[in-house]
């Protein structure tokens, strides 16, 4: 969120300092699966969010091209489509409802029986009795996105990118945010954007009454299958599988209220792999290459905090929970527009 907002601000002519205690993308943004799941996520986020999610997904193609042109880095944007699979009549009924709602709202969504689903993704389990297919949902590789964003920011004459800079509080003067305090000094600014992910509510000096942002831990498992067989993103009950197209397959993810504990646990890996192999049994033969966990920033009230805050001079870009990669470009633009209004 910080990098996307900084880029949008700089491209609109503002001078920006990015303050990051580690390196850009050190936390959730590089840990994510990178699903641009505008439609698959509508099972959690119906209503007015549908158009925002679709706008966010559709903004990614041009943004990925721009990042490649300016940095030479291909961020792995692929419209790989998403299948949400059902194993019984109850799950199938939920999928039918979802597809009907989406089609009524002008979105492309297809209802498939088990055979039809295996026609789209032959690696699916025999037990799959139906699926919703969202052919326009897509993916990026978040690690590459963060590499590209930091490269483009480092090259911008308007941006100063400071890694290893920990913000220790807001500077509040005459009821206005005048910048931030650091370990070793301060940075003054006309506008300050809070984009500290799951740590956003821990920054001293925030105005009272802001919804609290809390971490929701997600554990991930990376597999390597050779040759690559799975090509579609598959969501099953309790987990998902994201093939990068080259044999790497990300399996995710738990949703845990575990504070800032970074462990990858036996139960977490068991749950993630159980869900993944339930959908795509052939992944049982893939090599387990790595595991990690990180924290989705969940804002109280279930809505991201985007734009002006009750404190003059302070703007918010936090609390995007499961969909911060999907929403990065549009959030950056919306926050930049609010800052420069």
Ligand X SMILES: Cc1cc2nc3c(=O)[nH]c(=O)nc-3n(C[C@H](O)[C@H](O)[C@H](O)COP(=O)(O)OP(=O)(O)OC[C@H]3O[C@@H](n4cnc5c(N)ncnc54)[C@H](O)[C@@H]3O)c2cc1C
Task: Note the residues at the interface with ligand X (CB under 6 A).
Answer: 1-2, 19-22, 26-29, 31-35, 166-167, 195-199, 203, 218, 220, 252-253, 294-297, 318, 320-326
Q: In this complex, which beta carbon is closest to ligand X, that of residue 37 or of residue 278?
A: 37
Other beta carbons within 10 Å of 245: 13
3-class secondary-structure state, position 80 = coil
205: left (phi over 0), alpha (psi -120 to 50) or beta: left
Q: In this complex, which beta carbon is closest to ligand X, that of residue 92 or of residue 329?
A: 329
Q: How far is the CB of 138 from ligand X (least distance, A)?
A: 10
Q: Which tokens go with 10?
A: 């700089």
Q: How far is the CB of 30 from ligand X (least distance, A)?
A: 7
Q: In this complex, which beta carbon is closest to ligand X, that of residue 21 or of residue 68?
A: 21
Q: How far is the CB of 116 from ligand X (least distance, A)?
A: 25
Contact yes or no for 155/170 (Cβ under 8 A) = no
What span, in angstroms and rounded, lies between the C-alpha atoms of 57 and 143? Answer: 18
Residue-level length of the chain? 341
Q: In this complex, which beta carbon is closest to ligand X, that of residue 2 or of residue 313?
A: 2
Q: In this complex, which beta carbon is closest to ligand X, that of residue 29 or of residue 39?
A: 29
Name the packing angle between helices 142-155 and 49-71 (round to 10°).
60
For the chain, how are helix, strand and coil distributed in percent, rounded to 5? 35, 30, 35
b/e burial code for range 114-123 (CB count within 10 A of at least 16 → b): beebbebbeb
Contact yes or no for 145/67 (Cβ under 8 A) = yes
Q: How far is the CB of 129 from ligand X (least distance, A)?
A: 26
Element (H, E) at 180: strand 176-182
What span, in angstroms and rounded, lies between the C-alpha atoms of 93 and 7? Answer: 43
The residue number with the shortest CB distance to ligand X is 324
Q: How far is the CB of 25 from ligand X (least distance, A)?
A: 6
Cβ contacts of 322 within 8 Å, gap of 6 or more? 41, 44, 296
Q: In this complex, which beta carbon is closest to ligand X, that of residue 92 or of residue 276?
A: 276
Q: How far is the CB of 88 from ligand X (least distance, A)?
A: 26
What span, in angstroms and rounded, lies between the C-alpha atoms of 326 and 142? Answer: 10
Q: Which of 272, 258, 167, 178 is nearest to 219 (CA)?
A: 272
Contact yes or no for 108/74 (Cβ under 8 A) = no
Q: In this complex, which beta carbon is closest to ligand X, that of residue 157 or of residue 185?
A: 185
Q: In this complex, which beta carbon is closest to ligand X, that of residue 29 or of residue 71?
A: 29
Q: How far is the CB of 23 from ligand X (least distance, A)?
A: 8
Q: How far is the CB of 125 from ligand X (least distance, A)?
A: 22
């Amino acid at each position: 969120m910080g990098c996307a907002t900084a880029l949008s601000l700089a491209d609109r002519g503002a001078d920006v300092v990015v303050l990051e205690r580690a390196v850009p993308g050190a936390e959730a943004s590089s840990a994510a699966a990178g699903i641009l799941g505008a439609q698959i996520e509508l099972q959690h986020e119906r209503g007015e969010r549908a158009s925002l999610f679709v706008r966010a997904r559709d903004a990614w193609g041009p943004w990925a091209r721009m990042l490649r042109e300016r940095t030479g880095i291909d961020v792995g944007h692929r419209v790989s489509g998403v299948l949400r699979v059902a194993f019984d009549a109850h799950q199938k009924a939920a999928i039918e409802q979802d597809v009907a709602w989406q089609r009524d709202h002008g979105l492309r969504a297809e209802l498939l029986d088990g055979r039809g689903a295996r026609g789209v993704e032959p690696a699916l389990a025999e037990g799959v009795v139906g699926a919703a297919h969202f052919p326009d949902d897509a993916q990026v590789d978040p690690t590459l996105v963060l590499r590209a964003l930091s490269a483009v920011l480092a090259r911008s004459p308007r941006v100063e990118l400071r890694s290893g800079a920990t913000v220790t509080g807001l500077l509040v003067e005459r009821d206005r945010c005048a910048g931030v305090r650091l370990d070793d000094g301060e940075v003054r600014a006309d506008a300050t954007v809070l984009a500290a992910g799951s740590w956003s509510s821990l920054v001293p000096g925030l105005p009272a009454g802001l919804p609290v942002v809390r971490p929701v831990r997600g554990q991930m498992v990376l597999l390597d299958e050779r040759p690559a067989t799975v090509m579609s993103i598959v969501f099953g009950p309790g987990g998902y599988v994201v093939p990068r197209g080259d044999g790497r397959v990300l399996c995710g993810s738990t949703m845990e209220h575990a504070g800032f504990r970074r462990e990858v646990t036996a139960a977490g890996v068991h749950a993630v792999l159980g869900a993944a192999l339930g959908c795509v049994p052939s992944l049982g033969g893939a090599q387990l290459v790595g595991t990690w966990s990180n924290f989705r920033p969940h804002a109280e009230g279930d809505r991201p905090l985007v734009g002006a805050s009750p404190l003059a001079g302070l703007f918010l870009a936090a609390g995007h929970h499961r969909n911060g990669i999907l929403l990065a470009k549009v959030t950056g633009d919306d926050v930049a527009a609010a800052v420069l209004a």
